[in-house]
Amino acid sequence: MPCGDCRNIQNRDVDLKGRQIIFRHNKNGKIQVVPLCSRMVVILSDYMSVRKGKPEDYLFCSQYGEMLSENGLRIALERYNKKRGVKKTSMHLFRHTFARKYLVDCGGDAFMLQRLLGHSTLNMTKHYCSIFDADISKNYDRVSPLEQLTKPRETIKR
């Protein structure tokens, strides 16, 4: 998510039961709904129970409850990552890392990734994914049609 999208999230935009976040303010002007994995639901639930606030309050805010500035978000992200040994850090790099991991390491679908990133075309999504020859062969058996067709099938024993 771009920096502005993250800064604009309000408490009301987080639907923990529905496992999703609604982005109401993004640069293309369209509302975008993004799913949350189970782990993120737990993390956000813990954070929100400490954070508290009204539905219209910003989820990530300054110490005064105002929208976090771009610089404030950048510094918070940098501190968080540095404490965990991550050297290169930025919101944009997060998007690139997510896109690559989603496609290459997790076997995600390019069309779903396009929707998750909020891109109107696959061309834009391609810019986020540097895929190398080693990546292609890494888990190829898992997605190869030939491997799937020749896999021994389980039979039900009576």
With tokens 């909020």, the residue in question is 118
Q: Are residues 80 and 95 in the same domain?
A: no
| Each residue's pLDDT tens digit, 10-26 | 999 999 999 999 988 77
- On average, the pLDDT of the chain sits at 83
Q: Are residues 66 and 119 in the same domain?
A: no
The number of distinct structural domains making up the chain is 2
Q: What is the pLDDT of residue 155?
A: 61
Residue 53 Rama label (left phi>0; alpha psi -120 to 50; beta): left
Q: What is the pLDDT of residue 158?
A: 62
Q: What is the pLDDT of residue 134?
A: 60
| Each residue's pLDDT tens digit, 134-152 | 666 666 777 677 777 777 7
Q: Cβ(72)–Cβ(78) under 8 Å?
A: no
CATH of the domain at 78: 1.10.443.10
Last residue of a domain, one of 84, 100, 123: 84
User: Is it the case that residue 36 has pLDDT exceeding 90?
Assistant: yes
| Each residue's pLDDT tens digit, 84-113 | 998 888 888 888 888 888 887 787 888 888
Q: Are residues 149 and 106 in the same domain?
A: yes
pTM for this structure? 0.70
The radius of gyration of the chain's CA atoms, rounded to the nearest angstrom, is 19
Bridge partners, residue 14, by sequence:
21
Q: What is the pLDDT of residue 136?
A: 62
Domain that holds residue 15: 1-84
Q: Are residues 44 and 74 in the same domain?
A: yes
| Each residue's pLDDT tens digit, 49-66 | 998 899 999 999 988 889
Q: What is the pLDDT of residue 45?
A: 96
- Nearest C-alpha neighbor of 102 from the set 128, 121, 137, 81: 128
